[in-house]
Structure 1
Amino acid sequence: MEVTKIIEAIEKSRKIIIHRHVRPDPDAIGSQVGLKALIKNSFPEKEVYAVGEDVQSLTFLAQMDQVSDDAYYGSLVIVCDTANQPRIDDERYDTGKQLIKIDHHPVTDSYGDIEWVSTDASSTSEMIVELVLEAQSRGWALNNNAARLLYAGIVGDTGRFKFPSTTVKTFQYAGELVRYDFDRSGLYDELYQAEEKVLRLSGYILQHFQLSDNGLCVIKLTADLLEKYDVSVEESNQLVQVVADVKGIKAWVFLIEEEDQIRVRIRSKGVIINGIAGKYNGGGHPLASGATVYSWEEGNDLVSDLEKVCREYV
């Protein structure tokens, strides 16, 4: 069983370096640094590092470690919450002695000496809770910080337990985490509070969105619009659910213009959209995916494909 193999690999390793995907969300940070905190609490003598670029909006959860190239020699490398290798933050992930993949996305790229993928899990953070419960009899234990990070990851990827990925197991594992002493109210505030400028852009979206006859909502955030509201591409992440409660909506897509590409975020109420995301340099879950296009014309092609699947969806 992969979980047992991962537990044994961690126990045997003196040095462990943990990666996650670029442009991280709370689950990426929560699973990555939650795993680090879990290992350090269970094995204080081990060297454990979490690497990748810091994202300002998530530094309240954790800040990344700086690791030299030499540190990878003989190390165990674990990649959390990353379906395909091009999205792994820090290209040194394959320079260690052994590589492990822990992920809950559908498999599009099989990699690692040990690969544990559970598409039934709400989040990779949920999988880390499963890992520690499996290893409790061997002396593994969470602490308050690890529980806080893993709880943040579960909350983030389940949309505060609203998304269909939330299962009985999700609630059971969340229940295990809230036994620990951390400020849940403060954590929610940090995860979901927004600056005034982001809320004003949210108001603009709500005033100007259009819902097609097929139930698709398309929101285009041009560079000029982002500049007008002084909202960064990273900050626009907070807006992805703003139209989710519109009556009659089947799916919605944000196209966010950057300097040399257009970032695409797709969400759905039932329409399977990760195949389309895969067609446009992306991927993800059946109801929540991301992609990248390189012109508005290509973006319009993506929208046409979404219109088609929305039209066919009953």
Structure 2
Amino acid sequence: MIVKEHGRTLSHDEWNDFIEALLEAHHVVITTHQNSDGDGLGSQVALAAVLTTLGKQVSLVNPTEVPSNYLFFTERFRIDVFDDRSEESIQEIALADLVVLLDANLPERMGALWKHVLAGREMGFLKVICLDHHLEPEDFADLMICETYASSTGELVYDLVRAMEKHLGKQLLDEQVAEGLYTAIMTDTGSFRFPKTSPYVYSIAGELVRAGADPNGIYDRVYNSLNPRSLKLLGSALNEIRFLDEENISWLFISQDMLKRTQSKLFDTDIIIKYLLSVPSVKIAVLMVEMLDGRTKASFRSRGEIPVNEIAGMYGGGGHRNAAGCVLAYSPEKAIQVVLKDIQAFLHRTTL
């Protein structure tokens, strides 16, 4: 069931079914999307802290590994990478009675994990609930709250925690929860500068700092913790940036050869896309990365009212108006040809 958009906040009654699902569960698996980010991971850790306080058995299981700049979260909670060849990984799902998906609204974003979650749901021992803020959700869960007006999933988890406090009559927002939620909101708002950073978001940030979140420390760990391989990749990549359409479009392709040469991993590419949009004339930026299986991962960014989620949607992806992505079942050569042609046509249509 998808709960329709309700505006800036949800009432306690609108949270009620979600809260009841969490309180009725005994063993909860919390997961997020492939190639996890600060919003997904911070929301995971915050919700895990709350449920642990309430005496629940909680496991954090993700489809892909934690990026190096978010490894500080693993000091708080163990975060496992799901391996569908591992009996231990499969058993972790089989023992759960509730799976919570955060920061994604499409089942395929769970990667190999989804097949086993779906099997448990179909057998009747596993319930699936989802909390997200992206556009165009798929109705696959037993309960889904997809609030697209929210700046981040972290904002929604904050509201959920406050609703749970009211429901239970006890305080749940502590330093550990605050650290996760501040990280989630900070990263998904571009350090509190993206369009959905409302006055309400700033008020949440203040409450999180009051509860113990350290803004300087969190920012430093997230953004000032590059490793040598990331810097080498960045140096190689910046030299390969190309422009089209009178510098209205910037694009970059990162090959497996470049990743191997710099000993980098897929998540090391995440810091690069912001440089593609740093030229004032650029309206759309696209970063394409060759994956190990031969497919191509594409990340899109835009300025103003240009909805790049529609471009990503052409290839089965999605996201936000100004930030979206997809994986194309194309070779790099074909992906570059097709995507650049489509972006040029899309830009001309949307800016006429």
TM-score using structure 2 length: 0.82
1:84 maps to what in 2? Answer: 106
The reply to whether residue 64 of structure 1 matches residue 79 of structure 2 is yes
**Structure 1 residues 234-281: Cα deviation after superposition (integer angstroms, max 9, x where no partner):** 211121212322111101000111222111111111311112212223
Q: Does 1:49 align with 2:71?
A: no
- Tell me what 2:299 maps to: 265
Distance in 1 (alpha carbons) for counterparts of 2:347 and 2:65: 37
Q: Which residue of 1 aligns with 2:313?
A: 278
Structure 2 residue corresponding to 1:218, chosen from 251, 255, 262: 251
- Report how many aligned residue pairs link the two structures: 312
Partner of 2:42: 30
Aligned residue for 2:84? none
Kept in 2: contact 1:2–1:115 (CA 8 A): no
**CA displacement at 1:136 relative to structure 2:** 2.0
CA distance in 2, matches of 1:305, 1:283: 16
Provide the rounded CA distance (Å) in 1 between the counterparts of 2:335 and 2:231: 29
Residue 121 of structure 1 is matched in structure 2 by 150
1:211 partner amino acid:
F
1:69–1:205 distance in 2 versus 1, CA, 3 Å = closer
Shift in alpha-carbon separation, 1:60–1:70, aligned structure 2, 3 A: closer
Which string of whole-angstrom CA distances, capped at 9 and with x for unpartnered residues, describes residues 59-94 of structure 1?
Answer: 222331576526645612211111210111523333
SS at 2:72 equivalent:
coil
Is residue 2:117 matched to residue 1:93?
Answer: yes
Q: List aligned pairs for 1:112-151, cutoff 5 A.
A: 112-137=141-166, 138=168, 139-151=170-182
Hey, what does 2:322 align to over in structure 1?
287
2:90, 2:261 → 1: CA distance? Answer: 40
State the match for 2:287 in structure 1.
Answer: 254
Q: Which residue does the alignment assign to 1:179?
A: 210
Q: Structure 1's 232 and 14: CA in aligned 2 closer, same or farther, altered over 3 A?
A: closer
Once the two structures are TM-superposed, the CA of residue 179 in structure 1 deviates from its matched residue by 1.0
Q: Helix, strand or coil: the match of 2:300?
A: strand
Tell me the amino acid that sits aligned with residue 216 of structure 2: S
* TM superposition shift of 1:289: 0.8
Helix, strand or coil at the partner of 2:35: coil
For residues 191-206 of structure 1, the aligned pairs below 5 Å read 191-193=222-224, 194-206=226-238
The letter for the 2-side match of 1:269 is R
Per-residue CA deviation, residues 127-154 of structure 1 (Å, 9 max, x unaligned), is 0001112222222512211110111111
Q: Distance in 1 between matches of 2:91 and 2:260?
A: 38
Change (3 A) 1:298 1:207: closer
- 2:280 match: secondary structure: coil
Say if 1:265 and 1:290, in contact at 8 Å, map to a contact too: yes
Change (3 A) 1:216 1:70: closer
**TM-aligned CA deviation for residue 25 of structure 1:** 0.7
Provide the alpha-carbon RMSD of the alignment.
Answer: 2.1
What is the aligned partner in structure 2 of residue 301 from structure 1? 338
Contact persistence 2:67–2:268 (CA under 8 A): no
Structure 2: gaps of 5 or more residues: 1-12, 81-87
The answer to whether structure 1 residue 228 and structure 2 residue 261 are counterparts is yes
Q: Does structure 2 retain, via aligned residues, the 8 Å contact 1:101–1:111?
A: no
TM-score by length of 1: 0.91
Ranges in structure 1 where 5+ consecutive residues have no aligned partner:
none
Give the percent of matched residue pairs that are identical in Structure 1 and Structure 2: 29
